[in-house]
């Protein structure tokens, strides 16, 4: 099984402030890495999930996510936005965006990743470390240590 997150799945300077545009940009990284087989189909699954409930959480965080038939393995992409992106959180736009992609049958893994990530993101120190990370490798290392316990 491939790593959950790798440097090529990290964008430290997400362009734009539109939720759909930013999510599509991160999703294109998943396609390029061979982890999503159909960009439009995957984005449709993400939109369906967003329609149920906003995926923004307090602390400047967006966590768009979906289980999808177009995902080949559980994957986490990360984007950092200087301008912020509205994911519907009550405290305003997200500067830290995690795109969680899980295979359609991988509900357990999807929920485990989401829960582990949410537990770490309540800590200001973890959020600040992500904001301060100098490069994609530093983000990958932080996520591996803080979220995956490696």
Please list the alpha-helical segments (H only) found in 33-93: 39-52
HSE value, Cβ hemisphere, 13 Å, CA-based, for 142 = 21
Query: How many angstroms separate the CA atoms of 93 and 71, rounded?
Result: 27
* Catalytic, out of 35, 65, 80, 110: 65
Going by C-alpha positions, the residue among 69, 3, 78, 81 that lies closest to residue 36 is: 69
**Tokens 């999703």 found at:** 27
Query: How far does the chain reach from its first CA to its final CA, in angstroms?
Result: 15
65 assigned to active site: yes
Active site (catalytic) residues? 65
């Amino acid at each position: 099984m491939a790593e959950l997150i790798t440097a090529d799945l990290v964008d430290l300077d997400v362009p734009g402030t539109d939720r759909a545009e930013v999510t599509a940009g991160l999703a294109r990284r998943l396609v390029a890495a061979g982890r999503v087989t159909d960009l439009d189909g995957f984005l449709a699954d993400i939109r369906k999930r967003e329609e149920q409930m906003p995926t923004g959480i307090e602390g400047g965080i967006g966590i768009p996510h979906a289980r999808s038939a177009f995902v080949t393995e559980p994957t986490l992409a990360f984007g950092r936005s200087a301008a912020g992106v509205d994911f519907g959180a009550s405290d305003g736009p997200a500067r830290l965006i995690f795109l969680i992609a899980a295979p359609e049958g991988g509900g357990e893994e999807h929920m485990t990743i989401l829960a582990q990530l949410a537990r770490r993101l309540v800590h200001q120190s973890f959020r600040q470390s992500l904001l301060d990370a100098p490069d994609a490798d530093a983000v990958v290392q932080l996520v591996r240590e803080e979220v995956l316990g490696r």
